[in-house]
Amino acid sequence: MTTTACAHPNIALVKYWGKAPGPGNVPAAPSLSITLDTLVTRTSVAFAATDTFELDGHTVADSKLAACLADLRTEHDVPPLSIRSSNNFPTAAGLASSASGFAALVTAINAHCALGMDDTRRSIFARRASGSAARSIFGGFVGLAGPEWSAAPVLDAASWPLRVVVAVTAAGRKSVASSAGMRLSMASPYYPAWVSSTHDDFDTGLALVGARDFTALAELAEHSCLKMHGLMLATRPGLLYWNAATLACLHRIRELRAEGLPVFFTVDAGPQVKAVCLPEAASAVATALAELPGVIQILEAGLGEGARVEQP
């Protein structure tokens, strides 16, 4: 018997970068995200003699996955499992595959082993494995904040159906994994200002989503993104996740907005650019980004649902 769950990546509009001191992989500041629909991780679990993990058809040893299983086993009876996971998008290249991956994993194990966890508990276990994974438990607009540091829904997808055009500018794995990068950034002289201002950005973001104020959300989200990359650059050694095509996309998106298209950019710990837009702008944005040298693929998504079990 196999249980399959699926989950989508999420893209932060108010970014998370840096951890609170102490155990539990607690973020240093809150974050606000949107969950996508067409990009998906599908994870199947079955009982087995020993734990095994297959990602996109290849057997892999994954220390973060092993740590997530060990964490679940501190509170629950989880027998050895055969786990098979696949993504329909590039893995570990700044497209949040760890977010959808751990959200799908915890959801599949919860159902298969009848652990009885609600969304909040699953979000906490997913967060301990990968901070942003807490948010992929939920759909639409999602906040991740204290004191519990479980994610929680802010606004459902249908209430403000934004679109996201992803410009893929490089394949392959990113140069510095986010947890290692965050540890380095915490020694940056910019770090205290980043943490304190992100608390304010989160409160502003919640209000702007509630008011469906696209223009002000565009300004806030680009600010949070560029501020995070400013911190990354001001880290030792400097974390430079962008390539030439990344930068070309950012300039083009600003030109499109100046021409009147409702669109803004955000970039995570990788070179891909996510252009968030109102639905009527999506096809013009996709066409404009596809024309840029160095853009190798365009993906499109709307806002999607949270992690869920798939019926066989």
Q: Which residues bind ligand PMV (CB under 6 A)?
A: 12, 15-17, 31, 98, 130-132, 178-179, 268-269
300 alpha carbon, distance to own chain's centre: 16
The SS3 of residue 5 is: strand
Nearer to ligand PMV, 131 or 304 (CB): 131
**Which DSSP letter does residue 89 get?**
S
* Smallest gap from residue 135 Cβ to ligand PMV (A): 8
Nearer to ligand PMV, 112 or 122 (CB): 122
* Smallest gap from residue 137 Cβ to ligand PMV (A): 13
- Alpha-carbon distances, residue 186 vs 17, 28, 216, 231, 310 (angstroms): 9, 10, 29, 9, 39
List of residues 6+ apart from 237 with CB closer than 8 A? 184
Nearer to ligand PMV, 16 or 194 (CB): 16
* Smallest gap from residue 283 Cβ to ligand PMV (A): 26
Q: Is the dihedral of CA 80, 59, 176, 143 positive or negative?
A: negative
- Helical H runs in the chain? 63-75, 97-112, 119-129, 178-185, 191-211, 214-233, 244-258, 282-290
Nearer to ligand PMV, 3 or 178 (CB): 178
* Smallest gap from residue 132 Cβ to ligand PMV (A): 3
Nearer to ligand PMV, 11 or 286 (CB): 11
Backbone angles phi, psi at 85, to 5 degrees: -130, 145
* Smallest gap from residue 260 Cβ to ligand PMV (A): 29
148 alpha carbon, distance to own chain's centre: 19
Nearer to ligand PMV, 7 or 269 (CB): 269
* Smallest gap from residue 77 Cβ to ligand PMV (A): 27
* Smallest gap from residue 249 Cβ to ligand PMV (A): 17
Nearer to ligand PMV, 132 or 204 (CB): 132
- Considering only CA atoms, which of 2, 285, 248, 307 is closest in space to residue 166? 285
Query: Cα(159)–Cα(153) distance, rounded to whole angstroms?
Result: 12
